[in-house]
Structure 1
Amino acid sequence: MSEAKPERWAIDAGDSAEALLDIPPDAQRDRRFEVAIALAVRCPAELDGAWLELQVLANGNQQWRRRIAASNPGHSDGLDYRFARTVPVGEPLRVLAKVAVRGVRRERVVIEAEEV
């Protein structure tokens, strides 16, 4: 019996306020994923109280949340988060990234999961 090829899942939600990555269950084995979420925003030349926030939920439970002041006038700024999750046999992994901003423009939110 051959080893299963490691899985790789990704979603690029563009400038949406949410990104959802659904990894279906495997009926035969446990899996472990390294998950990376990246948010990119475009900052105006004058920041004037601008901020960006990223909230990450895994299977409905809040995994992480951070709000920071935008700090790169006239250029891009962003937030990144990484975590590992073991997914038991027969269970899915659902990763939801929620984005909130003030005074900056959402450019891209991406979720990637690689089996390790």
Structure 2
Amino acid sequence: MALTEFDRAIDIDKRHSDAYIYRGDVKEKLEDYQGAIDDYNQAIKLDATHPKAYYRRGNVLRKVGDNWGAIADYNQAIRLNPNYTSAKHRSYVHVDTGTTETFIQE
């Protein structure tokens, strides 16, 4: 149901980056990780200054094992908005990968 609504919103306005983000969120919950990544990529293409798109894509990249991609996205979200505390999840990725020294230096 929600996926259909976001599909419809995107059909109406293909330049609405938030619609891609929210549809990506639905796809992530459905475990369609590549579909979610594709939607977050499109949101970033439309608005490269949207920290939420990087953060959400980072979460999915982490789920599929692309830890370095996740860290890069979390870092970009923080660069765009230093107060974006959710993106601080990069610390968990450093713990998962055993690269806490790198995180401490950041």
TM-score normalised over the length of structure 1: 0.23
Say which structure is richer in strand: 1
Identify the structure with bigger relative contact order (alpha carbons < 8 Å, sequence gap 6+). 1
Say which structure is richer in helix: 2
